[in-house]
Structure 1
């Protein structure tokens, strides 16, 4: 764990959903998706979250970004619980925590020029200032030419579109990026470029990065600390190389054993 104060943190967060009644007069059941979760990220730090499908990653992400309120526990941004914060603090949180989604092609309006799409967060969050200057700053940060502003999404490659999606997340000048499988839809040759971009942004802008992925090699390359989630609980936390080469939790061992590598072929026992 980092000795610095976390910028964004979940403390003992539990989330459960109601199930349909099985009989007319029977009480509705419930299904616990997250069970006493602790998770945090500091400024200038990239942390990973890995787990099998259905482990609770999506629900954790929704709660971490304020899209869903937990049944119990706290979500703290800069030391303040976002669900007991005042309106101004909530607005600050919405600007400060931004998401980068898996498929940029589906998250961009094909009828909208890139420049207009990048301005959407500024309008929806009611951020004032010189928007054109901010556009140019962000394009420089993600390595895109200013001519991109006049083009439509279909005119870009997958890697360029993901850079545009990252640029849109950067427009409100956030302090935390939550990247949900940001390179899984890209060719392997392009993945490294996007991962290097994210690492540079963490370093240069002192961003906190939450990186969610299935690919353990990608997580190991991008992050300095990883949490493994299984059945709604964090079962192991540690540095990626240590965690993936000498796992202690059975669930982590299962994830590592499922990785197919050149060295181990179909046995999948090495990363």
Structure 2
């Protein structure tokens, strides 16, 4: 039985535009600018996994930075639970910081190799000043990601790539977030391990009613994991829809280019891929 999805967005970007100033060509000339995002609308609801795909340089990184509060948009708004994160009060912003967590591409570079996993998992609780029984929370999160308690005493180099990504997901779950933003979370893993991590993310979305923003280049991974996909190109959202429909019957030229670039055995032998 499919669980109903709360249609009110947990996290949303509304008509966001982001422009960066560039160095002057000469001392007295005007300072040029470059628009990275233009009039972006993007949202995720509780219990929903949404995808974001686009070629390199399309604006995915800037969108992610604004969505997670690392950058303030030049125009437009970012709302969490209906309230703007930049114009709201301090308490709401603190709640947003706890409630939106990231899972990065390479867990080996995001975990301190000198720190035991148990200590690393407690870092978000300390930095965000979250009170409560931290040991109990550690055990809950380990169960959620399928790791044994003995993992707490080990160092990152003692784990396989798939296990280490589970550790990274566990650390993101420690503050009990409402939204996970996963940026290429399986691209550094072997293909045989990718499905395990993807299934874990899908289980978390369903069981915890998390919102998941899934950013990836691999269209098959996005189609497997998400129920709605936005295609970004040159700083604009050019198409939104269900992944299977979007990737089998693309309407926007940019989406069609992404689909045509997928490397398959048939296309590779024919010399038409890429």
Q: Which residue among 8, 11, 25 is the counterpart of 2:11?
A: 8
The DSSP-based 3-state class of the residue aligned with 1:265 is helix
5 Å-filtered alignment, 1:102-141, equals 102-141=105-144
Structure 2: distance between partners of 1:82 and 1:12: 15
Structure 1: distance between partners of 2:80 and 2:269: 43
What is the aligned partner in structure 2 of residue 170 from structure 1? 173
Q: 1:230: how far off?
A: 0.2
C-alpha deviations, 1:164-208, integer Å up to 9, x for none? 000000000000000000000000000000000000000000000
Gaps (5+ residues) in structure 1? none
RMSD over aligned Cα, in angstroms? Answer: 1.3
Structure 2: distance between partners of 1:245 and 1:268: 20
What is the aligned partner in structure 2 of residue 248 from structure 1? 251
Q: Which residue among 189, 208, 215 is the counterpart of 1:212?
A: 215
Q: Which residue among 1, 24, 27 is the counterpart of 1:24?
A: 27
TM-score (structure 2 length as normaliser): 0.96
Q: 1:75: how far off?
A: 0.2
Residues 188 and 13 (structure 1), Cα distance of their counterparts in 2 relative to 1, 3 Å cut: same
The DSSP-based 3-state class of the residue aligned with 2:268 is coil
What is the aligned partner in structure 1 of residue 268 from structure 2? 265
The DSSP-based 3-state class of the residue aligned with 2:105 is coil
Residues 268 and 187 (structure 1), Cα distance of their counterparts in 2 relative to 1, 3 Å cut: farther
Query: How many pairs align?
Result: 269
Structure 2: distance between partners of 1:25 and 1:61: 35
Q: 1:76: how far off?
A: 0.5
The DSSP-based 3-state class of the residue aligned with 1:47 is strand
Structure 2: distance between partners of 1:34 and 1:263: 36
Where has structure 1 moved over 2 Å in runs of 4 or more?
262-270
